[in-house]
């Protein structure tokens, strides 16, 4: 069910939500949080679709805030609020309110959103793109317990990572960090199976990919070892190599879907590491509403500090034979193994 409201108010929107629920026979509210999506017209459809898909796991009231910047001075002075209310099958498992703020009202979005928040429920704000420099101090971000950004959508992702580190507040997180959750889990599990001191690591992936940088910073921060960042053609992260005193651990994903885990004295294992869509990433972030201290520690490690030991190198394209040699090296006994080759050349 959809209801269009022109030149409306927050009070009328709340009334429309109650009327819509009664009309479809679900007067009770069964939602667990309010998700505020701050976007523009260009990206609104994709953002709302991802939020709606994520709401199947987390029934939510989704409030999309779209600021309509007017070109003429007279139009910019006129404040107007248009809204679209979606309930039932048109809104996933919750409710969706699309707010279009015109004129001066665009500078006071928090005043419109505040009366629409679910009572006694957590609030999460998500910026699919164009996130403020300091989300916690943003008027909308100040309403939330959890603030989600995405450095991957920035024009200069690595500079954006530095901004995220400088302005971090408990409750901040980033989808570039969420993308590497399977990688972090797999690498931690590999070290559990082969407990040994790690003496160095290499992270290989696309240039200017914030997920690659965050994974390298996480390894450097948690292991306290030098981590080399090398470049490849992608997609995304392509390989991680950890040098241990008992051998080499290699996690290689060349096609963006299936990876191969190679360890000393063990057969190669195929593991699923597919590139996930935004709805899956968002659903993962909505599972926890407490501060992510591991993300905080990793992002504050700093890109400059990561690269302080030398420039980022471009990894040569490995042939099938070279990849087989790498896997054999990872499985060979440490006493017979030749000195490890560098994963990249200048």
Mean pLDDT by 10 residues, the chain (346 residues): 91 91 74 93 94 90 89 68 86 85 91 94 95 96 96 92 95 96 94 87 92 95 93 88 91 88 89 92 93 95 76 42 49 42 35
DSSP annotation string for 120-168? TS-EEEE-SS---SSGGGSTTGGG-SEEEE-GGGSSSHHHHHHHHHHT-
Instruction: Specify the pLDDT at position 28.
Output: 58
Q: What is the 3-state secondary structure (H, E, C) of 203-228?
A: EEECCCCHHHHHHHHHHHHHHCCCEE
Instruction: Specify the pLDDT at position 83.
Output: 95
In order of 297, 308, 310, the CA distances from 294 in angstroms are 5, 22, 25
Instruction: Specify the pLDDT at position 254.
Output: 84
In order of 39, 79, 183, 207, 210, the CA distances from 158 in angstroms are 22, 37, 20, 10, 6
Instruction: Specify the pLDDT at position 31.
Output: 84
Q: How many residues does the chain have?
A: 346
Contact 1, 88 (CB under 8 A): yes
Spatial strand order in the sheet of 227-231: 269-272, 258-262, 247-252, 237-244, 198-205, 227-231, 313-314
Instruction: Specify the pLDDT at position 266.
Output: 86
Calculate helix-pair angle for 293-301, 210-223, nearest 10 degrees. Answer: 100
In order of 46, 130, 139, 150, 289, the CA distances from 135 in angstroms are 22, 11, 8, 12, 16
Instruction: Specify the pLDDT at position 92.
Output: 66
| pTM of the full structure | 0.85
Q: Using the 8-state DSSP alphabet, how is residue 240 labeled?
A: E
Q: What's CA 128's distance to the chain center, in Å?
A: 9
Instruction: Specify the pLDDT at position 344.
Output: 36
Max CA separation in the chain (angstroms): 78
Instruction: Specify the pLDDT at position 69.
Output: 75
């Amino acid at each position: 069910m959809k209801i269009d409201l022109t030149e409306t108010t927050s009070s009328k929107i709340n009334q429309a939500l109650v009327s819509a629920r009664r009309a479809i026979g679900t007067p009770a509210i069964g939602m667990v949080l309010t998700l505020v999506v701050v976007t523009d017209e260009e990206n609104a459809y994709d953002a709302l679709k991802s939020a709606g898909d994520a709401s199947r796991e987390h029934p939510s009231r989704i409030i999309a805030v779209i600021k309509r910047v007017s070109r003429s001075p007279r139009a910019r002075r006129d404040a107007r609020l248009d809204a679209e209310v979606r309930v039932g099958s048109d809104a996933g498992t919750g409710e969706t309110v699309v707010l279009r703020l015109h004129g001066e009202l665009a500078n006071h979005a928090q005043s419109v959103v505040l009366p629409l928040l679910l009572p006694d429920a957590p609030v999460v704000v998500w910026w699919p793109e164009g996130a403020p420099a300091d989300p916690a101090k943003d008027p909308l971000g100040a309403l939330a317990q959890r603030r989600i950004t995405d450095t991957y959508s920035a024009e200069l992702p690595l500079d954006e990572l530095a901004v995220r580190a400088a302005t971090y507040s408990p409750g901040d997180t980033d989808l570039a960090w969420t993308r590497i959750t399977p990688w972090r889990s797999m690498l931690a599990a590999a070290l559990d199976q082969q407990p040994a001191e790690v003496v160095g690591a290499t992270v290989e992936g696309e240039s200017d990919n914030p997920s690659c940088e965050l994974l390298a910073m996480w390894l450097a921060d948690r292991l306290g070892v030098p981590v080399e960042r090398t470049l490849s053609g992608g997609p995304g992260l392509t390989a991680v190599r950890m040098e241990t005193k008992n051998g080499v651990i290699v996690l290689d994903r060349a096609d963006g879907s299936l990876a191969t885990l190679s360890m000393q004295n063990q057969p190669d294992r195929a593991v699923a590491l597919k590139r996930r869509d935004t709805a899956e990433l968002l659903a993962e972030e909505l599972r926890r509403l407490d501060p992510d201290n591991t993300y905080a520690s990793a992002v504050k490690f700093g890109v400059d500090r990561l690269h302080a030991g030398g420039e980022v190198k471009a990894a040569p394209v490995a042939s099938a034979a070279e990849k087989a040699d790498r896997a054999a090296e990872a499985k060979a006994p440490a006493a017979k193994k030749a000195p490890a080759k560098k994963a990249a050349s200048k």
